[in-house]
């Protein structure tokens, strides 16, 4: 299981309080708590006090294999309860949501019955830690069912239709507070996933060609700094080009398609491979506020979509940058989606792990912004000089633990802890015995990498809040 799930802190007590009564209002409130409609997700929400005040939330993709449901349930229960305790208060109860759309020809009730064992494992796992599950709901096909209520008068066997969008008390309160629901998690992820059009083959060939010319330049010409400078100059030109095209009033899919047309395959390949160098990537991270931030975010999204075929792992760099810019500009749901996808393609990508951890811990991105402002990106793009600063967590969570462990805000350091160990030659598929390929000279972008073997069906990164 991939344990990069998404806890968040408790709600601010000073904010307007809304009283929710019954399963119907709980089901309707879920997308407003997350900022999007979860799809194919387990969501746990902590409750505090006699009145059941909402606290931390945690989301994880539903494992396809039922054999993984018990360990997943135990892990999620532990993480939510321990995370709440670290923030000061042990939960008094938990609400469980299981969200999955019916497959073709399947009914929502069939989905509910299929997921019933998972709901039971979650209830018993929380109960084993002395925190009861107050309500467990399945949301599927526009209807919801309660696993906790046996009364068919309020929870009929055929389920209950969800409220019409915008008609509930939660919708009214969210509109008043300026809270927006960004659509579904699947739609948010689609903006960052590799192209699945015929153009993907052309992009793969461009990446092959760029890798074939780039690696010899670095290994034999000693021009890593020159390649980094060229990457940043090209990225700035692409940002300006994207900025000249307005996207206000345009839907996300239309906006993304327009951005894709403005970037050639060769340009995308050059920047993608250049960003595999950690120093170049860190310099690009300084485009995080003001007008530059929106243009940079559009560029990182577009580049993530160009990491096709065997180059899927290369998307960790643009996805991490997209997550950082989103977090820096106040879009925490978007940040967690991008960072989760970065960890899905490369769970060992430390830059994404540290940002993911800091975002989950509710740290202020201004600490890192202040650090990055000390970098003169424009000057460094022409002649890469001093090493860029990188975020370093004071106490890093163990690999794969999924439980944030930072003890304070990120620090500015030149130790390069925000990146994994660089590689000097193309990454190849791992041997059958699972050993990793050896690392060598630092700071060299990776050339073509083979696609990783398919992960276990239940290995899913958590979505976002």
Evaluate if residue 107 carries a pLDDT over 60.
yes
Question: 199, 341, 217, 174: which is closest to 257 by C-alpha?
Answer: 199
Query: What is the tens place of the pLDDT at every residue in 35-60?
Result: 888 989 999 999 998 877 888 889 99
Tens of pLDDT, residue by residue over 417-445, are: 333 333 333 333 333 333 333 332 323 33
- Quick one: which of 108, 166, 154, 449 has its CA closest to 312? 449
Tens digits of residue pLDDT in 72-87: 999 999 999 998 898 8
Instruction: Check residue 463 and give its pLDDT.
Output: 35
Query: What residues contact 301, with CB distance under 8 A and at least 6 apart?
Result: 191, 192, 256, 259, 318, 322
Count the helices and strands in the chain (H runs, E runs): 17, 8
Closest to 272 (Cα-Cα) out of 237, 314, 240, 212: 314
- The pLDDT, as a whole number, for residue 452 is 36
More confident residue, 299 or 13: 299
Separation CA 230–CA 273 (nearest Å):
11
**Which residues make beta-bridge pairs with 136?**
96
Q: What is the pLDDT of residue 65?
A: 93
Q: How far apart are CA 408 and CA 395, in angstroms?
A: 8
The DSSP-derived string for 333-382 is HHHHHHHHHHHHH-TT-HHHHHHHHHHHTT--THHHHHHHHTS-HHHHHH
Residue 131, pLDDT > 80, answer: yes
Summarised one tens digit per residue, pLDDT across range 188-238 is: 999 999 999 999 999 999 999 999 988 787 776 667 888 999 999 999 999
List the Cα angle 371/372/374 in 5-degree steps. 75
**pLDDT for residue 182:** 73
Residue 390 φ/ψ, nearest 5 degrees: -130, 145
Cβ-based burial of 145 (10 A; exposed 0-12, middle 13-18, buried ≥19): buried
> Which of 369, 353, 292, 283 lies closest to 319, judged by CA?
353
Phi and psi for 442 in degrees, rounded to 5?
Answer: -75, 155
Q: pLDDT digit string (tens) for 361-379?
A: 778 899 888 888 876 544 4
Indicate the DSSP class of residue 197.
Answer: S
Which long-range CB contacts under 8 A does 421-427 form with residues at least 24 apart? 422/277, 422/278, 424/218, 424/219, 425/215, 425/219, 426/211, 426/215, 427/313
Cβ–Cβ under 8 Å, residues 97 and 54:
no
Mean pLDDT of the chain: 77
Q: Name the residue with higher pLDDT: 222 or 93.
A: 93
DSSP state of 456: P
Q: In the structure encoding, which two tokens stand for residue 273, read together?
A: 């491979």
DSSP lists the bridge partners of residue 138 as 98, 145
How large is the angle between the packed helices 332-345 and 350-360, nearest 10 degrees?
150
Question: What pLDDT, on the 0 to 100 scale, is given for residue 325?
Answer: 96
List all residues 6 or more positions away from 261 whose beta carbon is below 8 Å from its beta carbon.
Answer: none
Give whole-number Cα distances, 64 to 69, 100, 140, in Å: 9, 11, 16
The pLDDT assigned to 134 comes to: 92
If DSSP states are collapsed to H, E and C, what string results for 89-123? CCCCEEEEEEECCCCCCCCHHHHHHHCHHHHHHHH
- Summarize pLDDT for 227-246 with one digit per residue, the tens: 999 999 999 999 999 988 87
């Amino acid at each position: 299981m991939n344990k990069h799930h998404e806890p968040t802190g408790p709600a601010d007590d000073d904010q307007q309080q809304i009283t929710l009564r019954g399963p119907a209002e709980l089901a309707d409130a879920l997308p407003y708590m997350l900022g999007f409609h979860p799809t194919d997700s387990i969501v746990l929400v902590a409750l505090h006090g006699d009145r059941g005040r909402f606290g931390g939330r945690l989301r994880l993709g539903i494992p396809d294999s039922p054999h993984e449901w018990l360990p997943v349930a135990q892990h999620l229960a532990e993480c939510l309860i321990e995370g709440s305790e670290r923030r000061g208060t042990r939960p008094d109860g938990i609400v469980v949501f299981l969200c999955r759309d019916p497959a073709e020809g399947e009914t929502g009730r069939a989905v509910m019955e299929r997921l019933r064992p998972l709901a039971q494992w979650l209830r018993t796992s929380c109960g084993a830690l002395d925190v009861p599950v107050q309500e467990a709901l399945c949301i599927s096909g526009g209807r919801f069912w309660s696993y906790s209520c046996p009364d068919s008068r309020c929870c009929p066997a055929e389920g209950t239709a969800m409220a019409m969008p915008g008609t509930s008390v939660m919708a009214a309160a969210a509109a008043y507070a300026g809270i927006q629901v960004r659509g579904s998690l699947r739609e948010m992820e689609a903006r960052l996933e590799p192209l699945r059009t015929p153009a993907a083959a052309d992009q793969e060939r461009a990446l092959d060609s760029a890798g074939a010319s780039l690696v010899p330049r670095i290994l034999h010409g000693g021009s890593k700094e020159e390649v980094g400078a060229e990457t940043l100059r090209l990225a700035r030109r692409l940002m300006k080009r994207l900025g000249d095209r307005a996207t206000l009033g345009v839907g996300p899919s239309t906006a993304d398609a327009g951005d894709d047309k403005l970037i050639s395959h060769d340009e995308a390949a050059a920047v993608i491979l250049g960003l595999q160098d950690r120093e170049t990537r860190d310099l690009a991270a300084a485009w995080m506020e003001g007008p530059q931030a929106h243009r940079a975010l559009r560029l990182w999204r577009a580049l993530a979509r160009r990491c096709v075929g065997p180059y899927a792992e290369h998307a960790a760099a643009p996805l991490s940058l997209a997550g950082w810019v989103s977090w820096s500009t106040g879009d925490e749901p978007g940040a967690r989606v991008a960072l989760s996808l970065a960890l899905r393609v490369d769970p060992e990508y430390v830059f994404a792990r540290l940002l993911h951890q800091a975002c989950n811990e509710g740290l202020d991105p201004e600490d890192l912004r202040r650090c990055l402002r000390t970098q003169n990106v424009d000057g460094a793009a022409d002649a890469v000089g001093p090493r860029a600063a990188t975020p370093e967590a004071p106490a890093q969570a163990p690999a794969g633990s999924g439980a944030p462990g930072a003890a304070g805000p990120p620090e500015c350091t030149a130790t390069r802890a925000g990146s994994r160990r660089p590689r000097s030659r193309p990454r190849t598929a791992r041997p059958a015995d699972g050993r990793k390929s050896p690392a060598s000279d630092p700071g060299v972008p990776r050339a073509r990498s083979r696609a990783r073997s398919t992960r276990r069906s239940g290995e899913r990164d958590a979505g976002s809040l």
